[in-house]
Amino acid sequence: MKNISILGSTGSIGTQTLDIVRNNLDLNVVAIAGNSNVELLRQQIEEFSPDIVCVYQEEKAEELRAYYKDYEVKIVSGMDGLIEAATWDSADIVLTAVVGMIGIQPTIAAIKARKTIALANKETLVCAGHIIMPLSREMGVKILPVDSEHSAIFQSLNGENPRQLEKILLTASGGPFRGWTREQMKNVKLADALNHPNWSMGKKITIDSATMVNKGLEVIEAKWLFNVPYDKIQIVVQPQSLIHSMVQFVDGGIMAQLGTPDMKLPIQYALFYPDRREMDSERVDFGKIAGITFEDPDFENFKGLALALRAAKEGGSLPTVFNAANEYAVAKFLKEEISFLDITEMIEYAMNNHEFIPNPTVEEILKIEQDTRKLLEERF
């Protein structure tokens, strides 16, 4: 039996993880956490009987408490609650699927508690990879990627010598606006940006895919997970999302992982690694695939990609500024308060008006997030 704690159980990755639990009797949910969706958390409590539930918003936690007695389920809230769910004693593995850099502190706490991490929450590594990766090595804790590209890289590296890796070929679908100019993107509506051609995901990452900021975050995520310098990570646009990523070795050989665009495979692979389990999912039918095409990424029209690479290369506090500004801007775009192109304008403004810190601590990272928000609130 494997005991699992799911941070972000009400989201896209979280609910797909629970589908996997339904199909595997040796997975047992001991902790779940969400932001505010009390109704769904209630259903999850009824079905999976976790020991502890965190509802981040205290007033929503209060609502949930009205339904249960103390001995039935422990209900906690806020950051302390999230950390308690992440470090719950009986949990073997913590699936981090909250959205955003809110995941930093619970992830660090889970590593310190020696939990295996199945990591979907990329923003955490983007901001704090320099803290999390050395800590996981020190604690002897595995960080298993859930992001489809990183899972593909991880699977392609299976049994290989990482020192013989020449480069990572990180694939990208290009999103709904692939091939568009900035001029064409000027009047993009929220519904257009939410309409991803291949993947069904949470709203924030769907917008990140439309701006290509997601691919920028993934480059940084790959650097930390696989310990490779940025000049060895190449983005390859592959619009059909059939190849989930590739690795190239020193002899020129390339290994790739392919599949239908279904997050359940990478989630399940992380939960059972190094085992593979049967999965009743759609299979690739090569007879029906018209072709696989490749393109170089467009750094000029997708400014978010260029800004992410700048943040990546300069390092230090800049990836946090990049990420915090993006989180702030995307939230505004989702409320239809700013235009699509404003997202990258805000990121650029925040990056250009930041005092660089070479090696920020967790406290400094959280302060940078606050300062970035304040800066953008004042300016826009």
Residue 218 in contact with ligand NAD, rule: CB under 6 A? no
Rule CB under 6 A: say whether 13 interacts with ligand NAD: yes
One symbol per residue from 147 to 186: x for binding Mg ion (CB under 5 A), - otherwise; what is it?
xxx-------------------------------------
Q: Is 58 or 300 the residue whose CB approaches ligand NAD more closely?
A: 58
Considering only residues 42 to 81 of the shown chain, the ones binding Mg ion according to CB under 5 A are none
Looking at the Cβ atoms of 226 and 349, the one nearer to ligand NAD is: 226
Q: Binding to ligand NAD by residue 99, rule CB under 6 A? A: yes
Q: Are 230 and 223 in contact (CB under 8 A)?
A: yes
- Report CA 8 to chain centroid distance, whole Å: 11
CB-facing half-sphere around the CA of 294: CA atoms within 13 A: 10
Closest approach, Cβ 10 to ligand NAD, in A, equals: 4
Return the number of the residue (37 or 234) whose C-beta is nearest ligand NAD: 37
Stretch that binds ligand NAD, among 166-174, 202-210, 272-280, 288-296 (CB under 6 A): 202-210
User: Considering the rule CB under 5 A, would residue 84 count as an interface residue with Mg ion?
Assistant: no
Determine the residue with CB nearest Mg ion.
Answer: 147
Contacts of 203 (CB under 8 A, 6+ apart): 194, 334
Cβ proximity to Mg ion: between 55 and 193 the closer is 193
Place of tokens 């290369």: 313
Helix axes 213-226 and 148-156, enclosed angle (nearest 10): 30
Could you count the other beta carbons within 10 Å of the beta carbon of residue 137?
A: 12
Distance CA 211, CA 287 (A): 32
Nearer Cβ to ligand NAD (85/349)? 85
Say what angle helices 213-226 and 122-139 make with each other, to 10 degrees. Answer: 10
8 binds ligand NAD (CB under 6 A): yes
Q: Is the dihedral of CA 120, 123, 128, 129 positive or negative?
A: positive
User: What number of helices (H) and strands (E) belong to the chain?
Assistant: 16, 11
Stretch that binds ligand NAD, among 93-101, 246-254, 275-283, 331-339 (CB under 6 A): 93-101
| Partner whose footprint covers residue 8, from Mg ion, ligand NAD, none (CB < 5 to 8 Å by kind) | ligand NAD
> Which span sits near ligand NAD by CB under 6 A: 9-17, 228-236, 246-254, 337-345?
9-17
| Binding test (CB under 6 A) with ligand NAD, winner from 4, 98, 108, 219 | 98
Chain mean position to CA 105: 15
Q: Using DSSP bridges, classify how beta strands 243-249 and 116-119 pair: parallel, antiparallel or unpaired.
A: unpaired
**Contact status: 205 vs ligand NAD (CB under 6 A):** yes
From ligand NAD, Mg ion, none, interface partner of 149 (C-beta below 5 to 8 A by class): Mg ion
**Got the DSSP string for 152-170?**
HHHHHTTTS-GGGEEEEEE
Using CB under 6 A as the binding rule, whether residue 201 contacts ligand NAD is answered as yes
Residue 102 found at the interface with ligand NAD (CB under 6 A): yes
Amino acid at 42: R
CA 224 from chain centre, in angstroms, equals: 13
Residue owning tokens 């409590």: 45
The helix (H) or strand (E) run that includes residue 222 is: helix 213-226
Name which position in 30, 33, 126, 376 contacts ligand NAD (CB under 6 A). 33
Tokens 């393109």 identify what position?
295
Query: One-letter amino acid identity for 121?
Result: N
CB of 291 to ligand NAD, least distance (A): 25
- Give the one residue of 51, 147, 221, 369 binding ligand NAD; rule: CB under 6 A: 147
- Contact positions toward ligand NAD, by CB under 6 A? 8-14, 33-35, 37, 56, 82, 97-99, 102, 120-123, 147, 199, 201-205, 263
Q: Using CB under 5 A as the criterion, which residues of the chain lie in contact with Mg ion when the complex forms? A: 147-149
